[in-house]
Structure 1
Amino acid sequence: MKLFSTTALALAFVSAAPAAAQNKAPAAQAAATAPAKVTPSKKATPALIELQTAVQKKDWASVPAKIAAAQAVASTKEDRYLIGKFQLEAAVAQNDNNAAATAIEAMASSGQLGAAESSSLYQSLGGTFFNAKDFPRSVTAYQKALSLNPNNADAQSMLIEAYLSAGQKAEAGAALQRVIQARTAAGQKPDESLLKRAVAIAYDTKAPNAVEVARQWVAAYPSPASWSDALAIYNNVRQPDVEGVIDMSRLLLATNAMQRGDQYARYARAAAEVNNFNEAQLAYDAGVKANKINPTAADYSDLSSGLKAKQKATAADLAEATKTAQSGMALLRIGDRYYAMGDYSKAVELYRKAMGKPGVDTSVANLHIGMALARAGDKAGAKTALDAVTGTYADLAKFWQLYLSTAV
């Protein structure tokens, strides 16, 4: 009998790993941890033979005493490793997770295995506890696996599952961010499913970085859907004022991300609230053209009838109004009407005139300049203006900067 010619460890106690983690088959994972051959010390050999024999015969009553006897004479890392190995075989056969944890600790601390091999053992232990719904201990095992081998991708993924199952959503979000950052640093583009999950967890847990995580998703996978969802998160987290709603809605329109009639209607109502009926009409007409607003529907009756009664400014009206404008805000709002007409260069001219005048928030003026220049195709000029936005509108400016980098 070849007592110490080690074959693949039978980690059968890992019956299944968390589905999302895509764990290796337990046998394959165990094989990676098993040395080709382990030779014990002469002093410990008799005791180890007795221990192995008891395990093979399933003489569970005598195993604890055999383990203690072997531990008393163990003097080398090989001795300690083999004791742990036989402990593990006994634990597997008896479906004893606590004993398996003790055995793996003995094997990992023996000094016989490398860090990556020990990491795989703890990863398997994490799967064991996960399947037993002992999620806190599963978390601990995966953390240990990663402390030994931070590049253990399977353990990284499974730790997230364990955190979620343990109800530790904030910790799961942080772990997920570490995975995303590691893959990005390695020059790998994270899967969109990974980013979307990070967004969902960050939003659900009200994480301080929820808006930033949403921007990460759009940056990697810009689409009307990702823009719409990311800006919805911005809206729900930041609760923008009327100015913010208009500027956010402009971005939704620019990215073809308005998905519903209420989004077009909200844009139109916000513009009308600041008496910008040109832009309100633009938003309403865009909703009708996209078949998102039904002009005869009761939900939009205030817009369909109200906007008809409002006079829209012409270019000539705006030129005349510019001559008599008495305040910086009046100039800013005239610029907004030029923006609605698509005359972005004229809009920028008015925004710059408004800049620095009493009552005009410099960040708002810079944001509007950046938006108009972005729509005009002046990316360099837009970036300069958007970089200068601070405070309340800084997050929205970052979204517009993202538009600059993703727009064709």
Structure 2
Amino acid sequence: MNLKHLLTAALLGLSLSAATPALAQRDSLRPEVGKPLQEAQKLIQAKQFKQALPAIDQAEAVGKLTDYEAFVIAQMRGAAYSGAGNAVKAAAAFEQVLDAKRLPKDEALNISEAIVGTYFRAKDYPRAVQWIERYRADGGTKPQVLGLLPQAFYLAGDFGKAAQASAVAVTASEKAGAKPDETLIKIMAASYQKAKDADGYTRALEKLVRHYPTPEYWSDVIIRTAGRPGFSRNLDLDMYRLMRATGNLDEPKEYMEAVQLSIQAGLPGEAMEILDEGFRKKILGAGDAADTERQNRLKALVEKRYAEDRKTIAETDADAAKAATGDPLVKTGLAYVTYGDAAKGLPMMEQGLQKGQLKYPEQAKLHLGYAHYLAGDKAAAIKQLRTVKGDDGAADFARLWMLLAAR
């Protein structure tokens, strides 16, 4: 039974069961009130719901109702409107029933649940929010009820509260060792976006790729991260590395730019690997004649740089060790790792970090974490990436690599 049918059944069932015992309560009904209500009860039991409403109105018209009489009338009216298909008026009647505070807790919570569903389906989202919060305050714990709160806030246009409510729910699921609902995280992301909270939106996207790592979600979070104010253009190659690792490097222009940036970084081994992948996937070398010519020229250049670097890289080791800063060691070490020699490259990079005097120290830490990832040691990669700080984008990319390494 879907949510709509469940709540409709709850309203109908509860109203009929609540009306009968109410007449037998210790409290009494005056005859002029009780007689029309007994007639209404018979009509409700016969499923003649609309016909029961005039009798209920007659009982109310007696006036000077006791609290108990008002309570029973509200029950009967809720039953009649529910059976007649007027859920909103039924909910209003059951609100009066709950306000009387005469029902057992479990029964009251079931009615509250039904009221929530009624207002939600009626698109009265502010009222739905009010009743979800009341349901929670009264001790209600059903996830299908409480889980409507972020969505209700969002649909009511209160994006700040929608973001807060969804973030709390997502965090609670994670702390409980559960996988948060994908729709809930998407509401969180959309709420932050509507609230123009770029940092919150990025955090929500990171939650999506943590729990639902589709290429589409990865592409969104990588591009959003790279587009943040203050992001260093030195990290453009790192953006392409993440795109490639998540299956999002799929355009000839992206492959060409990634290859060129690798060459500029002094990493022909990485450039060759990216280029070979592009040709193997027929993303490169399969376009029109002019594009293919440019791609083949780049291929020839990369092959030349690759051959030269393989012959001379060992000669640079001593120079890198003698350099005043650790940058040459980090760069040469990463080159070794891209050639598949992590045993030599990783210690060089670590020596470079220890030497210090780095031009971009946080980016160097990021690259060491990336090198550990390339070497297949994801635990070491995560440990290293946790050390990356700063606000130039390196720490943001480090978080993404940690998410990727933790899969």
Select which of 275, 296, 301 maps to 1:284.
Answer: 275
Is the contact made by 1:345 and 1:373 (CA closer than 8 Å) also made in structure 2? no
Change (3 A) 1:133 1:402: closer
Partner of 2:46: none
- Aligned residue in 1 for 2:21: 37
1:53/1:402 Cα in 2 relative to 1: closer, same or farther (>3 Å)?
same
After superposition, where does 1:254-293 map in structure 2 within 5 Å? 254-293=245-284
Q: Secondary structure at the match of 1:138?
A: helix
CA contact (8 A) 2:185 2:208 kept: yes
Structure 1 alignment gaps of length 5 or more = 1-16
Aligned equivalent of 1:345: 343
Q: Tell me the alpha carbon deviations over residues 278-332 of structure 1, each in whole angstroms, 9 at most, x when there is no partner.
A: 4334323222222333464456765543453463352342222232344433333
Normalised to the residue count of structure 1, the TM-score between the two structures is 0.76
- Quick one: distance in 2 between partners of 1:269 and 1:203? 34
89 and 70 in structure 1: CA distance in 2 versus 1, 3 angstrom threshold: farther
Once the two structures are superposed, the pairs formed by residues 2-401 of structure 1 within 5 Å of their partners are 24-28=6-10, 30-31=12-13, 34-35=17-18, 37-38=21-22, 39-46=24-31, 48-50=33-35, 52=37, 55=40, 58=51, 66-67=59-60, 69=62, 72-74=65-67, 79=69, 81-89=71-79, 91-92=81-82, 99-192=89-182, 194-195=184-185, 198-199=188-189, 202=192, 206-207=196-197, 208-222=199-213, 224=215, 226-237=217-228, 240-294=231-285, 296-297=287-288, 304-306=296-298, 308-309=300-301, 311-312=305-306, 313-325=308-320, 326=323, 327-355=325-353, 356-392=355-391, 393-401=394-402
Contact kept, 8 Å, 2:37 with 2:55, in 1: the verdict is no
Following the alignment from structure 1 to structure 2, what is the Cα–Cα distance between the partners of residues 240 and 246?
Answer: 13
Q: Distance in 2 between matches of 1:363 and 1:22?
A: 53
Indicate the larger mover: 206-215 or 389-398: 206-215
Match of 2:405 in 1: 404
| Aligned 8 A contact 1:44 1:74 in 2 | no
Task: Tell me whether 177-186 or 90-99 shows the greater mean CA deviation.
Answer: 90-99
Q: Which moved more, 1:58-67 or 1:264-273?
A: 58-67
Once the two structures are overlaid, the 10-residue window that deviates more, 58-67 or 290-299, is: 58-67
Contact residue 119 and residue 146 of structure 1 kept, 8 A: no
Counterparts of 1:147 and 1:289, CA distance in 2: 60
Larger helix share, 1 or 2: 2
Alpha-carbon RMSD across the aligned residues, in angstroms, is 3.8
CA distance in 2, matches of 1:198, 1:293: 38
Alpha-carbon offset, residue 366 of structure 1:
1.9
Distance in structure 1 (CA, Å) of the matches to 2:314 and 2:99: 81
| TM-score after normalising by structure 2 | 0.76
1:269/1:280 contact within 8 Å kept: yes
CA distance in 2: counterparts of 1:184 and 1:101, whole angstroms: 34
Q: CA deviation at 1:385?
A: 1.6
3-state SS of paired residue (1:24):
helix
Identity among equivalent positions (%) equals 23
| SS in structure 1 at match of 2:65 | helix
Q: Distance in 2 between matches of 1:248 and 1:230?
A: 11
State the shift of 1:390 in Å: 1.1
Is the 8 Å Cα contact of residues 11 and 79 (structure 2) preserved in structure 1? Answer: no
Q: Relative to structure 1, is the Cα distance of residues 28 and 86 closer, same or farther in structure 2, using a 3 angstrom cutoff?
A: closer
1:105-133 CA distance string (max 9 Å, x none): 22112222344433433333333334443
Q: CA deviation at 1:222?
A: 4.2
Structure 1 residues 387 and 264: alpha-carbon distance in aligned structure 2, compared to 1, 3 A threshold: same
Q: CA deviation at 1:377?
A: 3.0
Partners of 1:202 and 1:209 within 8 A in 2: yes
Deviation at 1:376, TM superposition (A): 1.8
- Please give the per-residue CA displacement for 1:70-100, whole angstroms capped at 9, x wherever unaligned: 763235xxx5542321232455578777754
- Which deviates the most, 137-146 or 65-74? 65-74
* Structure 2, gaps ≥5 residues long: 44-49
Change (3 A) 1:260 1:175: farther
Q: Partners of 1:98 and 1:193 in 2: how far apart?
A: 27
Task: Measure the CA separation in 2 of the matches of 1:43 and 1:115.
Answer: 23
Mapped to 1, the partners of 2:224 and 2:101 lie a distance apart of 49
Q: Distance in 1 between matches of 2:5 and 2:396?
A: 38
Q: Secondary structure at the match of 1:44?
A: coil
Residues 387 and 169 of structure 1: CA distance in aligned 2, closer, same or farther (over 3 Å): same
Mapped partners of 1:206, 1:269: distance in 2: 35
Give the SS at the match of 1:111: coil
Q: Tell me the distance in 1 between the aligned counterparts of 2:71 and 2:32.
A: 14
